[in-house]
């Protein structure tokens, strides 16, 4: 139980910190620059994610095909299957204009 509470706390703290940093970056650098920097960081971190998650045999098969293109397709598929998330993403994008 204590582990779950700590995990939940650090999850929420990470989300709050990431959201705050993104908001600050958008305010200081602009939306397009921040989006480009975020995309660059994501592409740079993708190989590291593959190394970290290849601990078991079952995760190797799921990470093996992880490329920026397949990850983008998965995100688009998720947004199409979850209309609430799609509308939230569009609303945030329009609010930044």
Query: 72-82: per-residue pLDDT in tens?
Result: 778 778 777 87
Q: What is the pLDDT of residue 91?
A: 76
Residue 95 CB coordination number (10 Å): 8
Band (pLDDT 50/70/90 cuts) for residue 26 is: confident
As a whole number of Å, the end-to-end CA separation of the chain is 44
Least Cα distance to 71 among 49, 91, 95, 88 occurs for: 49
In this structure, the number of other CB atoms found within 10 A of the CB of residue 58 comes to: 8
- Asked if residue 76 lies in contact with residue 70, where contact means CB atoms within 8 angstroms, the answer is no
Q: What are the tens digits of pLDDT across the range 41-94?
A: 877 877 776 676 665 555 445 555 667 677 777 877 877 787 777 777 777 767
Longest dimension (CA), the chain: 45
Give 97's pLDDT tier (boundaries 50, 70, 90).
low
């Amino acid at each position: 139980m204590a582990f779950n509470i700590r995990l939940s706390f650090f999850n929420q703290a990470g989300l709050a910190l990431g959201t705050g940093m993104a908001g600050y970056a958008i305010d200081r650098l602009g939306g397009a620059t921040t989006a480009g920097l975020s995309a660059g960081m994501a592409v740079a971190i993708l190989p590291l994610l593959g190394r970290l998650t290849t601990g078991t045999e079952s995760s190797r098969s799921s990470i093996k095909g992880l490329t920026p293109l397949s990850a983008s397709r998965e995100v688009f598929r998720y947004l199409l299957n979850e209309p609430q998330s799609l509308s939230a993403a569009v609303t945030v994008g329009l609010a930044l204009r």
